[in-house]
Amino acid sequence: MAAAREVGVSRTTGANWSRGYKTYRNGEVVGFVAPLDRLAVRQISPRFLSEEERIEIADRAGPA
């Protein structure tokens, strides 16, 4: 899993996060950890600069 590697956790932990997992004590299920929700694509507020606007500003600023 590339995502697990990207955040620095094991493949097992990444799988647990994406699929959820049960916790056991003495062979019995004592809890369930639900999978993490996938990130929803959100509309970015017009209050923030677009990527194109940021690039244009950076290009006009010249070398630092």
Overall domain count for the chain: 1
Q: Is residue 13 part of a domain?
A: yes
- Residue 45's pLDDT is what? 86
Q: Is residue 16 part of a domain?
A: yes
Q: Coil, helix or strand for 53? A: helix
CA-CA distance, 53 to 59, in Å (whole number)? 10
pTM above 0.85, yes or no: no
Q: Is residue 45 part of a domain?
A: no
Q: Tell me the pLDDT of the chain averaged across its residues.
A: 86
44's tokens: 């970015």
Domain residues for the domain of 3 are 1-36
pLDDT tens, 31-58? Answer: 998 888 777 677 888 899 999 999 999 9
Q: Is residue 5 part of a domain?
A: yes
Per-residue CA distances from 42 to 11, 31, 45, 47, 55 (Å): 28, 32, 9, 14, 21
